[in-house]
A and B are shown apart, each in its own frame.
Chain A
Amino acid sequence: MLDLSFLGQTILNGLSVGCIYGLIGIGFCVIYNASGIVNFAQGAFVMLGGMITYVLVSLNVPLILAAAITIICVALVGVIIERIVVRPLWDRKATMFVMILATLAAQIVIERATLIVVGDQPKSLPVFTDLPPLRLFGIAIGYQTLWIFGTSIVLIIALGLFFQKTLVGRAMRACAINREAAALQGIQVSHMLALSFALSAGLGAIAGILVTPTQFTAFNVGTPFAISGFIAAIVGGFGRPFGAFLGGLTLGLAQALAVYSLGSGLKNMAALSVLLLFLFLRPSGILGSAK
């Protein structure tokens, strides 16, 4: 009986971290849809989200304000990367591989700059609601978990409305379907590229802020998060934002079950194995590729 509730706890934790992977995965899709670029610097946004909030909170800025400032700052970082790394390569018609390498290098630069500024000690944030966890059938549901679920659902709905109802969102979807045709309709494709980086960086930052109280953040957490987000995007069928969220939940669950049955040392290896399995057996993901 005790074991069963432990399994339930494991599943709950898996789904909660899966939401985070899903948000990062959506970030991959948003940029990919607008430009065909896979931004390997995605993890840096997650790391910066947690890290800048930590720095602001330690300067006695209230958490909500700190989070808001952080999201704006990280979105700006996204636009800066787009301007000084991606745009010049885009204009020179760089190959896909060069683009990946450049964004990966941008990730390393941000990581190392963070290391120099804040040091290598892991940092954490206080939980948003400091109350004892709810108990349900012997499963402890922390308020942070509820925050993660709640924020993710709100974001998914907001993104859905944004892509369906607003002119800008529909313009971005048009770019995803056919960039040349979108340009002929008068859509500023290059603006959409910058906007997609801002949006994706903001999502990454939110994911980073949400997850930091349950784990910790350090200069080098970005790459594992980016890989998990990428796996989520692949599992969901690359280029499908909501597929990516489902993929994130799947990955979080698979990872939690692997840890449950095989031990915590295998957490990253389980995620990477899910990636390779999908790549080899079903590269178009659960829902099928967007293109």
Chain B
Amino acid sequence: MTNSPATISSKLMAALRHAPAIAAAGMVAYAIADGGYIVTVVGFGLIYTIFVAGLNIFMGYAGQTSFGQNAFAAIGAYASAVLTATYGWPPLLAALAGIVATAICAFVIGYPTLRLKGHYLAMATLAIGLIIYEVAVQWQSVTNGYMGISGIPALGIGHYELLSDRAQLIFLAIMAVLSLAASWLLRHSRFGRALVALSGSEDAARALGINVRQYKLTAFIISAIYASISGTLFVHIVGFISPEMIGMNMVILAFTMLYVGGIGTTTGPLIGAIVIGLLPESIRSFKDYQDLVYGAALILILIYAPGGIASLDQVVKKLLRTKAPAKEVAP
């Protein structure tokens, strides 16, 4: 009995706060060691980690709305697919071209769109996602319509190609860690603090000398670049892209992951993507019900646990507080 109950619970809280992220990282390590079928599942989760991390910067940190991030994943994915499979570019160069194209598109789209607020912004971004989907379907000479593009080579430089599943997974894990680290650095920089400030109140942020429009646009472009990278990684790992892969269900899936993991937290995207990625594998014949379950889960989380898994420690804290209010009051 050397520890007082308060320190035990605060240590427990600290452990709880990091437990989900550690468990998710453990899952990735297990997949790398195991090397079996789980590699595909976790790889998918890691690609989505990057996509959701980008979404998190724009929505979690800056508090903005975008239902059209699939557009930027699509631009990255199709740029990589067309340039490598049709024109024979090396993957790295194609990926860079895709990122530059996405950044330019994000600037051109974001400049007028981000002036909008509330449901206008929501609907405008939703429309942008749908327009890109329509372009992917209709621009047959480039995108091959509904049939999609296949025969996309694996990632690699020169003669070194990432062919084995395990090598690909390690590469994806490195990319995911880098993107989360970048997100963390961003959050704790002057820029990140400005985003959090403007998410609280744009007027107050402006009064503090923050150029609100410029910061929002920059956050939008950064999150678009994250989406583009995830799109590129996806086509090179899967080797195929079609419009169905970048439709509305991608947006709902990403939001479910973001909210399960915890919106606004740095590791939330990883937790959410791994948990939601593993879900279909734990329930047999789940595939038919996949989107239905994601949608229902998203509604439940939005209502009952808007902080997601990353806020588990706070939920527990709240429970303890309601059970033992006296402890919290004591100085």
Q: Chain B contacts of A104 at CB under 8 A?
A: 67, 252
Query: Chain A binding site: helix, strand, loop or mixed by DSSP?
Result: helix
Known: A105-B252, A269-B138. A96 touches B118 (CB 8 A): yes
CB contact under 8 A between A105 and B295, given known A94-B302, A98-B302, A283-B116: yes
Chain A 88-115 against B: per-residue CB contact (8 Å), 1 yes, 0 no? Answer: 1100101011101110111011011100
A108 touches B252 (CB 8 A): yes
Which residue of B has the minimal Cβ distance to A280?
B112
Q: Which residues of A contact B113 (CB under 8 A)?
A: 279-280
CA distance A54 to B292 in the complex (A): 22
Which A residues are CB-close (under 8 A) to B298? 101-102, 105
* Neighbouring A residues of B303 by C-beta, 8 Å: 85, 88-89, 92, 94, 102
Within 8 A of B (CB), among A116-139: 116
- Residue of A whose beta carbon sits closest to that of B133: A268
Give the complex CA separation of A100 and B126 in angstroms.
11
How many A residues have CB within 8 A of the partner chain?
37
Residues of B within 8 A of A98 (CB): 302, 306
Chain B residues with CB under 8 Å of A279's CB are 113, 116, 120, 123-124
| Contact A109-B295, Cβ < 8 Å, known A227-B127, A276-B127, A279-B120 | yes
Contact with A along B243-257 (1 / 0, CB 8 A): 000001100100100
Shortest distance from the beta carbon of A240 to any chain B beta carbon, whole Å = 15
Per the bound structure, the CA–CA distance linking A85 and B304 in Å amounts to 11
Contacts of A112 in B (CB 8 A): 289, 291-292, 295
Whether A108 lies near B295 (C-beta < 8 A) is yes
| Separation of A81 and B331 alpha carbons in the complex (Å) | 46
Interfacial residues of chain A within 55-108, with CB under 8 A of chain B in the complex: 85, 88-89, 92, 94, 96-98, 100-102, 104-106, 108
Q: How far is the CA of A85 from the CA of B299 in the complex (A)?
A: 7
A21 at the B interface (CB under 8 A): no
B122 contact from A38, A89, A113, A116, Cβ within 8 A: A38
Q: List CB contacts (< 8 Å) of B277-331 with chain A.
A: 288-289, 291-292, 294-296, 298-299, 302-303, 306
Bound-state Cα–Cα, A112 to B295, Å:
9
Contact surface of B with A, Cβ cutoff 8 Å: 59, 65, 67, 112-113, 115-116, 118-120, 122-124, 126-128, 130-131, 134-135, 138, 248-249, 252, 255, 288-289, 291-292, 294-296, 298-299, 302-303, 306
Interface residues, chain A, CB within 8 Å of chain B?
38, 40, 85, 88-89, 92, 94, 96-98, 100-102, 104-106, 108-109, 111-113, 116, 223, 227, 230, 234, 265-266, 268-269, 272-273, 275-276, 279-280, 283
Q: Offer 5 A-B interface pairs, CB within 8 angstroms, sorted by A.
A: A96-B119, A101-B302, A109-B299, A227-B130, A280-B112
Among all A-B residue pairs, the 9 with the closest Cβ atoms: A112-B292, A108-B295, A109-B295, A38-B119, A105-B295, A105-B298, A272-B127, A88-B303, A280-B112
